[in-house]
């Protein structure tokens, strides 16, 4: 088997209630893994799970995945051999090009729900940045799972920075065995002050490559404080970033942007939002090296200075973040939050802005659902080049739904397109129990694209499983190929 790998640096079937090593959010946390076959040919898949000491916990034969399709394993039900309380990492191998996403969640049916999604890492890096790190910040905490993707153990150094870009304390160091992961838990870090809200950098050193996933969360005592956000650490920055989805006053949802300067010089950025075919620009103050900045769309004071004014604007759109006076010493990364603080309060997601180098003419969403155990997805695609893009979305067959396609067009005035999966033309009409859980592949001509997908429990679309409160909302970047 030609080994094409995808690193999963996550909690897997982790039954942990304030354990001795970490003070992670309490509850019987579990994971689901979805692997997408990015080729037209059948793929053979193997998943190897690693304990934190680097030993193999389980080597699991995932069988085959048809071309352009995906397969999901909800670990408590579909993978026997992992003991309760397992916490570790995994490597997905295949003889074909693959991509993976991981849901870290409370068990299905938990009320309130808590779930976050991250992508399997196919391009690890020597240095990986995390934009949102917290310790008891208005009740919010975070942790980062850092995986050694190499063949031998090496030491990882973690550096923390406050909102002004100042390093907080000395480097935290940890030796991590090959393929294993270590959790840097900010909530128990005595070197971070209570109320800390900043960023982090994880360094493996020359040729020591890392995969990083971070999660931040609030108390989880009920449905209104059950938010659980997952995002991938970023090993590479740029001078232009693309944001496929940003919302303002959209069914009570608001976006927030966190833009971090990972270069060596101060810089300013211009954000160009596009809502309903109209561009709105907002320029940042000076952002020093290591420092982060970004507006919350629900606070008019943070949008002051936008041209034209964003007051009264509402809906779902996209954005481009550009460094002003760019040069190689001015590099940025960004994450985007979306949450609902009104009704149903407590839902939130985070995803990473895209680099031009990550865009392509083909993008894959490994897991799209429609009325599947109560969950339904949406996806949004954005072009990053001028001109018209003609696109086709291909849905794989799943349950009672046969494979089907739909077409859409991206233009300079309307560079993004979104689809709520139950409304796609090949689904059953109305709330008719599609039971769809499959992959969607986007092919575009005329321009390269990036995109995201999300899912949440939608009682308004599927009443079979009762209502579910809490944070069932999760988002992940699409996989470009």
* Average pLDDT taken over every residue of the chain: 91
- HSE, side-chain direction, 13 A CA sphere, residue 111: 7
Per-residue pLDDT at 86 exceeds 90: no
Mean pLDDT calculated for residue range 250-276: 96
Residues in the chain: 481
Full DSSP string of 382-437: EE-SSS-EEEEEEEPPBTTBPPEEEEEEE-SSS-EEEEEGGGSTTSPSSS----EE
The answer to whether residue 233 sits within a structural domain is no
Full residue range of the structural domain in which residue 250 is found: 240-353
φ, ψ of residue 287 in degrees (nearest 5): -115, 115
Q: Is residue 371 located within the same domain as residue 457? A: yes
Residue 417 belongs to a domain with what CATH number? 2.60.290.11
Q: What percent of the chain has pLDDT over 70?
A: 95
Q: Is residue 169 located within the same domain as residue 278? A: no
The count of other CB atoms within 10 Å of the CB of residue 84 is 10
The answer to whether residue 223 sits within a structural domain is no
Per-residue pLDDT at 17 exceeds 60: no
CA angle, corner 314, sides to 427 and 341, nearest 5?
85
The answer to whether residue 224 sits within a structural domain is no
Rounded-to-integer distance, Cα 273 and Cα 313, Å? 11
pLDDT, residue 329, reads 96
The answer to whether residue 226 sits within a structural domain is no
φ, ψ of residue 188 in degrees (nearest 5): -110, 10
Per-residue pLDDT at 11 exceeds 60: no
Tell which residue, 453, 439, 443, has the closest CA to residue 67: 439
pLDDT, residue 15, reads 30
Q: Is residue 11 located within the same domain as residue 77? A: yes
Cα–Cα distances in Å, from 240 out to 78, 144, 265, 368, 404? 41, 26, 16, 28, 35
Q: Is residue 36 located within the same domain as residue 109? A: yes
β-partners of residue 354 are 242
Rounded-to-integer distance, Cα 62 and Cα 94, Å? 10
Do the Cβ atoms of 392 and 376 come closer than 8 Å? no
Per-residue pLDDT at 18 exceeds 50: no
Mean pLDDT calculated for residue range 188-198: 96
pLDDT, residue 267, reads 97
The answer to whether residue 181 sits within a structural domain is yes
Per-residue pLDDT at 51 exceeds 70: yes
Reported as a single tens digit per residue, the pLDDT across 398-407 is 999 999 999 9
The answer to whether residue 225 sits within a structural domain is no
Mean pLDDT calculated for residue range 264-286: 97
Per-residue pLDDT at 194 exceeds 90: yes
Q: Is residue 245 located within the same domain as residue 328? A: yes
Q: Is residue 30 located within the same domain as residue 110? A: yes
The answer to whether residue 404 sits within a structural domain is yes
Do the Cβ atoms of 316 and 245 come closer than 8 Å? yes
Per-residue pLDDT at 22 exceeds 90: no
H helices present in 58-129, as ranges: 75-78
What proportions of the chain, in percent to the nearest 5, are helix, strand and coil?
Answer: 5, 55, 45
Q: How many domains does the chain have?
A: 4
Q: Is residue 134 located within the same domain as residue 35? A: no
pLDDT, residue 6, reads 60
Asked which of 323, 353, 383 is the last residue of a domain, the reply is: 353
Reported as a single tens digit per residue, the pLDDT across 409-433 is 999 999 999 999 999 999 998 778 9
pLDDT, residue 431, reads 77
Asked which of 321, 353, 385 is the last residue of a domain, the reply is: 353
Q: Is residue 312 located within the same domain as residue 328? A: yes
Q: Is residue 326 located within the same domain as residue 387? A: no
Asked which of 312, 333, 353 is the last residue of a domain, the reply is: 353
Mean pLDDT calculated for residue range 387-397: 96
Rounded-to-integer distance, Cα 268 and Cα 357, Å? 22
The answer to whether residue 330 sits within a structural domain is yes
pLDDT, residue 152, reads 96
Per-residue pLDDT at 448 exceeds 70: yes
Rounded-to-integer distance, Cα 395 and Cα 21, Å? 43
**Tokens encoding 437:** 């859980």
pLDDT, residue 12, reads 35
Reported as a single tens digit per residue, the pLDDT across 138-156 is 999 999 999 999 999 999 9
Rounded-to-integer distance, Cα 407 and Cα 232, Å? 30
Full DSSP string of 174-225: EEE-TT-EEEEEGGG-TTSPTTEEEEEEEE--TT--EEEEEEEE---SSGGG
Per-residue pLDDT at 19 exceeds 90: no
Q: Is residue 248 located within the same domain as residue 323? A: yes
Q: Is residue 365 located within the same domain as residue 332? A: no
- HSE, side-chain direction, 13 A CA sphere, residue 190: 0
pLDDT, residue 264, reads 95
**Tokens encoding 306:** 């936008």
Q: What is the pTM of this model?
A: 0.93
Q: Is residue 74 located within the same domain as residue 25? A: yes
Mean pLDDT calculated for residue range 96-106: 89
């Amino acid at each position: 088997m030609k080994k094409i790998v995808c690193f999963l640096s996550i909690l897997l079937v982790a039954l942990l209630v304030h354990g001795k090593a970490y003070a992670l959010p309490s509850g019987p946390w579990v994971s689901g893994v979805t692997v997408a076959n990015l080729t037209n040919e059948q793929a053979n898949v193997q998943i190897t799970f690693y304990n934190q000491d680097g030993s193999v916990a389980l080597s699991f034969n995932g069988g085959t995945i048809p071309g352009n399709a995906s397969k999901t394993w909800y670990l408590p039900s579909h993978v026997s051999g992992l003991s309760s309380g397992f916490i570790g990492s995994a490597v997905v191998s295949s003889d074909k090009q693959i991509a993976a996403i991981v849901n870290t969640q409370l068990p299905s049916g938990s009320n309130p729900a808590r779930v976050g999604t991250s992508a399997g890492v196919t391009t690890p890096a020597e240095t990986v940045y995390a934009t949102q790190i917290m310790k008891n910040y208005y009740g919010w905490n975070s942790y980062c799972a850092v995986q050694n993707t190499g063949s031998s153990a090496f030491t990882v150094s973690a550096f923390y920075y406050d909102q002004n870009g100042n390093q907080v304390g000395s480097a935290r160091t940890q030796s991590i065995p090959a393929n294993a992961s270590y959790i840097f838990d900010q909530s128990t870090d005595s070197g971070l002050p209570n109320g800390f809200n900043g960023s982090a950098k994880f360094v493996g050193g020359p040729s020591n490559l890392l995969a990083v996933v971070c999660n931040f969360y609030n108390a989880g005592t009920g449905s209104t404080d059950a938010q659980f956000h997952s995002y991938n650490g970023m090993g590479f920055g740029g001078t232009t970033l693309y944001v496929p989805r940003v919302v303002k006053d959209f069914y009570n949802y608001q976006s927030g942007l966190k833009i971090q300067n990972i270069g060596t010089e101060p810089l300013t950025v211009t954000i160009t939002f596009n809502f309903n075919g109209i561009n709105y620009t907002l320029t940042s103050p000076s952002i020093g090296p290591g420092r982060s900045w970004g507006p919350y769309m629900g606070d008019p004071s943070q949008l002051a200075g936008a041209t034209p004014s964003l007051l009264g604007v509402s809906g779902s759109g996209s954005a481009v973040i550009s460094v002003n006076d760019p040069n190689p010493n001015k590099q940025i990364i960004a994450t985007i939050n979306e949450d609902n603080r009104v009704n149903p309060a407590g839902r939130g997601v985070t995803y990473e802005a895209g680099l031009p180098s990550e865009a392509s003419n083909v993008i894959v969403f490994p897991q799209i659902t429609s009325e599947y155990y109560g969950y339904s997805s949406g996806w949004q695609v954005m072009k990053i080049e001028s001109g018209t893009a003609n696109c086709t979305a291909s849905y794989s067959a799943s349950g009672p739904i046969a494979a089907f396609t739909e077409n859409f067009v991206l233009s300079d005035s309307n560079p993004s397109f979104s689809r709520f999966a139950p409304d796609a033309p090949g689904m059953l009409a109305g709330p008719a129990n599609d039971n769809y859980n499959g992959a969607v592949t986007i092919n575009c001509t005329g321009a390269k694209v990036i995109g995201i997908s999300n899912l949440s429990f939608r009682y308004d679309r599927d009443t079979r499983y009762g209502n579910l409160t809490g944070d069932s909302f999760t988002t992940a970047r699409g996989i470009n190929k």
